[in-house]
Structure 1
């Protein structure tokens, strides 16, 4: 332990080390538990030492998001636009799954930093390089939304919080009674929720295969974008068609 502390003390403190340590700490303790004081303890320095490298916690979080972006594969060379986008999105999803705090951090950032803008510009560029018009690409980016970062809002998320219990923790009789009550009041929801087998080990609360659902929706969007691109779609014409 003494040798480890001495090695830490000998390692110069810089912005990269602060950010990498913050990422590792958030991986270990979660987004809500990350604080400048706790980060300083992890680095073996006083809190003021951190502020020489990041001005405040917002800048720390911006830097952590930039670190996450650095883990996303760049556009694959030699790929058609559809394959390139799909590979990039799935790479972003793998990065997000390595860092459970990442989605919350991304959603908490209200200002677009250079790292975020660079990623968005590169992502947009895959469609433009594939021959999409700027008009169609604008609407594509709206449609793809958070999938650009590798996440979507899950349809059947379990309630958040310490009192939420997984289905496996609820006795079978109680689950059956709950399902019966749900079916009486929300028959359509129950019909679709019970239409497929569920994986209780899934990260989604009710055991949906979230990776399958994510890729299903992604492929559906990409197929739709491809069809509109081939049709020479424009928002001007689409609006005229609706009048």
Structure 2
């Protein structure tokens, strides 16, 4: 095993090897601990050797995003648009959950990387070949938001630290003031490990929302929905046929 590790460290340096090592290091230590110096140590090279393959840390992060997104499964040939989009998004979710730092890095980029663009292009293509107009596809992508890449904002935020549990009197007072919140909060057995909400199953909640959206998109497609007939967005705003946003 030691010999294998040494052989790996002596292997010729390449961009692919640098990116794979960076992804593994971020998985192991967290993205905050990743630095060019630390990565060079991991690879057994001097830091300057890395700059032959990545110009700077920002380019390194872009490459790491592309390495993760490039591993997302492609849809099975011949799948209908609904199954293809759903499968692609759930595969993206698995890929990003396997690299907890990836969603945060994706959000930090100034623009989509090549692999992210290719992924988005494929999802848009699934809608278009499934009979969606450009107009409806545009709004469907807006509705999906970050969910198209398998994550939601709250999913990757750190859950708040649990505070002291309120007493029965405080719980009763809160229930009297906010009865619907209390009803919803006590509807399920709570699990402190969930980050969507205590008591929520993250995967179930993600798939529930995804299925609601996809079913809604299909209903609009069948209706031949267009944005041209939507109401104005505010006082004094005219409806412009064909406007995209």
- TM-score normalised by structure 2 residue count: 0.85
What is the distance in 2 between the residues matched to 1:20 and 1:125?
29
Deviation (angstroms), 1:44: 1.1
User: 1:35–1:238: structure 2 CA closer, same or farther, 3 Å change rule?
Assistant: same
In the alignment, which residue of structure 2 is the partner of 1:89? 89
What is the distance in 2 between the residues matched to 1:26 and 1:119?
22
What is the distance in 2 between the residues matched to 1:96 and 1:130?
26
| Unpaired segments ≥5 residues, structure 2 | 233-237, 240-245
Aligned to 2:191, the other structure's residue is in SS state coil
In the alignment, which residue of structure 2 is the partner of 1:196? 188
In the alignment, which residue of structure 1 is the partner of 2:165? 175
What is the distance in 1 between the residues matched to 2:109 and 2:177?
39
What is the distance in 1 between the residues matched to 2:158 and 2:70?
31
User: 1:207–1:25: structure 2 CA closer, same or farther, 3 Å change rule?
Assistant: farther
- Superposed CA deviations along residues 41-60 of structure 1, whole A, max 9, x for unmatched, are 11111111111101111111
> Counterparts of 1:88-167 in structure 2 under 5 Å?
88-154=88-154, 159=159, 164-165=161-162
- Superposed CA deviations along residues 154-174 of structure 1, whole A, max 9, x for unmatched, are 38x6645xxx24xxxx6xxx4
What is the distance in 1 between the residues matched to 2:190 and 2:150?
22
- Superposed CA deviations along residues 115-172 of structure 1, whole A, max 9, x for unmatched, are 22111111100000101000000000000011111011238x6645xxx24xxxx6xx
What is the distance in 2 between the residues matched to 1:218 and 1:126?
16
Q: Contact between 2:188 and 2:199, CA under 8 Å: does it hold in 1?
A: no
* Root-mean-square deviation (Å): 2.7
Please identify, of 127-136 and 186-195, the stretch whose mean Cα deviation from structure 2 is larger.
186-195
In the alignment, which residue of structure 2 is the partner of 1:229? 221
**Residue 238, structure 1, aligned to residue 216, structure 2:** no
What is the distance in 2 between the residues matched to 1:68 and 1:186?
43
Instruction: Report the count of equivalent residues.
Output: 233
**Residue 217, structure 1, aligned to residue 212, structure 2:** no
Q: Contact between 1:128 and 1:137, CA under 8 Å: does it hold in 2?
A: yes
- Superposed CA deviations along residues 160-217 of structure 1, whole A, max 9, x for unmatched, are 5xxx24xxxx6xxx42439727546655433322222233444546241010100010
Please identify, of 204-213 and 226-235, the stretch whose mean Cα deviation from structure 2 is larger.
204-213
User: 1:233–1:175: structure 2 CA closer, same or farther, 3 Å change rule?
Assistant: same
User: 1:206–1:158: structure 2 CA closer, same or farther, 3 Å change rule?
Assistant: farther
In the alignment, which residue of structure 2 is the partner of 1:20? 20
